[in-house]
Amino acid sequence: MVVAGNEGVDPWWPEFGAPADLAVIEEVPLAERGLPASTHALLRHAAQTWPSRPAVSLLPSGEKWDRPVVWTFADLCGRVNQVANVLTRLGVGRRDAVAILAPNNGLVLAALLAAQTVGIAAPLNPGLAHDQIVGLLRLSGARVLVTAGPELDPEVWATAVRLAAGAGLRAVLAVRPDGATGIPPALDGPVPALDGPVAGTGAAARVAYLDELMAAEPADTLTAPDRPRPGDIASYFHTGGTTGSPKLAAHTHANEVVNAWQIAVGVRLADDVAALAGLPLFHVNAVVLTCLAPLYRGQHVVWAGPLGYRDPSLYRVFWKIVERYRVAAMSAVPTVYSVLAACPVDADISTLVLPVVGAAPLPEEIRRGFADRTGGLQLCEGYGLTEATCASARNLPGHLRPGTVGQRLPYQRIRAVRIEADGTWTDLPAGETGALVIAGPNVFPGYLRPGSDEPGSDPVPDPEPEPAGRIADGWLDTGDLGSVGPDGFVRLVGRAKDLIIRGGHNIDPTSIEDVLLRHPDVTAAAAVGRPDAHSGEVPVAYVAVRAGATVAAQDLLEWAAARIPERAAVPKVVHLVDSIPMTLVGKTFKVPLREDAARRAAGAALEEAGLAEAAATLTVHTEGGGPVLTVTEPADERSAARVSAELGRFATAWRFRPATRAVGPTTVTGG
């Protein structure tokens, strides 16, 4: 094992402080860098190199920001070993998934790394719909669930109880709040022995507190008969589902170990500073960027409570946290920095030098507002996606190129291509916008698809499941649009699925959103395509405004029309809403907005045609990435034919529902 250091001669740490260093780094083959074989090998290296150095400080909440639970690297490794041994005792093997459904927590972090050590970690977003969680759980094949106990998160525990009753689980391991050793047991039935059903379900799944099971396991060794290899599957991460239903993306140990190194090699922080983690552990950024990458350099990470950046109380003391823990680096989405831009700085934040932003386009107003608030601190944009493990491009401190996401990371390749009608790819000239494709050791093996019907069959990664996420000759179609400049800097335009195509003309929704966000009363904006009988679709905007604002939708429409340079991109209508739907990691969730736009367009067409009764039965759901209209079939053939004629004018898919079924319409709160 190579010992990490800061000397350029160390194969782990070549010089990477300027864009020109990239070519020099790649003169050495990646295989010669001697990276660890697995995430556990990386953790073990950190524990052996810095056993007594603080690894994680776990904040119980934003309100208890000054009462951390601190684990050293030796502590972290020991707890991971103990959880791994518990899982081994439960029969978890190399090809078995362990589902994790919980807010951020020390033992949740340990469980995720432990699941990778003896099997496969499958972290799930508790905010998904119950049916989605069940579907992902069954697809993963997990029979063991690590979840928040009732003391940590009652709502998540209630979800776990429902899962135990019908998702095929055999064991449910509950996690208490960090530092809550004195809390009396809240679970019914025997604890810690796995010999009692989950309270209130009568299901076959057994329950125990994870920490009590760990007490019987050794911390200095693993009882599993084998160790993970680079090509073994480490994780199943579900995609965000921002354009449809989430999918499970498989990551190998090599994917995560290499990508963590690609991130760490460009970050050199002092030993006495920390990184701040506030994104949820079901997100690749939290696991790879703020967990695995710091292991390479023995970096202290402060975990900002169970809710992380979603905890409102965190922002009242955010700058105090930066001062208290000497936070030097953090990674967040634009919405987090938008909130911070409104928080007065009431502490010494001079240690903060690397605020990384990604996961969504960065509006110029947020960039400028954060810099103004922090005395000139510049946000460092990066780019990545679950299908490429985590990170693929980033600006380097001292070499920021605003408006770009920086250059590719070492040993990766990024191209902009035109996807031809026959599906082939044609390289585009430097600076020209096209579909971004990525190749490198971080590209995932594929999405998970169900195994065969044979007993004991495992789900397997599918290397070519659909156009977005397609892998061809080692190149991944990211589903993103952008350009690669002559100097290698990557500029993002947006998601291919987010493009509004008006009469064959492509409209970038960010060109609309950025203009609306410049209005002083607007707090959030999202543009989507509304089905249109003439143009296929036309742009419409959904806008949230600050409390007490009196601005009208027509005012915002006129504001946009005066400032959007492309006439076709001016929205047909602005809808004022209470809030813009967001995922739990702060990405705009446009699916319900597209559904609402489709419902409004189809409903208006039916009403104008004198088919108000049919319009009242109209519902919309998303299928295959796009909205599908459903309307109750009229009893008489003439009315049915008229409905068919009206809905047939749209390019949007639609279908009849038998007259015996009635369902309420899909709506977005607001006007």
Per-residue pLDDT reduced to its tens digit, 274-297? 999 999 999 999 999 999 999 999
pTM reported for the whole predicted model? 0.78
- CA–CA gap between residue 585 and residue 414 (Å, rounded): 25
SS3 264: helix
469 or 587, higher pLDDT = 587
As a 3-state breakdown, the chain gives helix, strand, coil percent values, each rounded to 5, of 30, 25, 45
Q: How many CA atoms lie within 13 A of 255 on its CB side?
A: 27
Q: Using 50, 70 and 90 to split pLDDT, how confident is the model at 419?
A: confident
Which residues on adjacent β-strands are paired with residue 531?
Answer: 537
Residue 287 makes CB contacts below 8 A (sequence gap 6+) with 112, 123, 235, 237, 256, 281, 390
Q: Are 460 and 141 in contact (CB under 8 A)?
A: no
pLDDT in tens, 202-217: 456 788 999 999 999 9
Under CATH, to which class is 35-377 assigned?
Answer: alpha beta
**What confidence score (pLDDT) does residue 57 get?**
97
Q: Are 279 and 285 in contact (CB under 8 A)?
A: yes
Q: Are 104 and 61 in contact (CB under 8 A)?
A: no
**What confidence score (pLDDT) does residue 1 get?**
26
Q: What percent of the chain is modeled with pLDDT above 70?
A: 88
Among the residue ranges 153-167, 339-353, 544-558, the one predicted with the least confidence is 153-167
Sheet of 393-394: strands edge to edge?
69-72, 54-58, 300-303, 274-277, 327-332, 354-357, 380-383, 393-394, 407-408
Residue whose tokens read 């208290």: 324
Q: Using 50, 70 and 90 to split pLDDT, how confident is the model at 6?
A: very low
Q: Using 50, 70 and 90 to split pLDDT, how confident is the model at 245?
A: low
Which residues on adjacent β-strands are paired with residue 309?
Answer: none
- CA–CA gap between residue 370 and residue 377 (Å, rounded): 7
CATH fold, domain 499-576, is: GMP Synthetase; Chain A, domain 3 (3.30.300)
**What confidence score (pLDDT) does residue 450 get?**
72
The answer to whether the bond into 455 is cis (omega within 30° of 0) is: no
Q: Are 141 and 249 in contact (CB under 8 A)?
A: no
**What confidence score (pLDDT) does residue 187 get?**
57
Q: Using 50, 70 and 90 to split pLDDT, how confident is the model at 633?
A: confident
The residue ranges of every structural domain in the chain are: 35-377, 499-576, 591-657
**What confidence score (pLDDT) does residue 646 get?**
86
Q: Are 133 and 161 in contact (CB under 8 A)?
A: no
- Bridging pattern class, strands 425-427 and 354-357: unpaired
SS3 620: strand
Average of per-residue pLDDT across 508-518 = 88
Q: Are 193 and 187 in contact (CB under 8 A)?
A: no
- Asked whether the predicted pLDDT for residue 560 surpasses 90, the reply is yes
SS3 126: coil
**What confidence score (pLDDT) does residue 391 get?**
95
Q: Using 50, 70 and 90 to split pLDDT, how confident is the model at 194?
A: very low
- CA–CA gap between residue 317 and residue 329 (Å, rounded): 17
Q: Which two tokens stand for residue 609?
A: 């045609």
Using CB atoms within 10 Å of the CB of residue 97, give its burial: 0 to 12 exposed, 13 to 18 middle, 19+ buried: buried
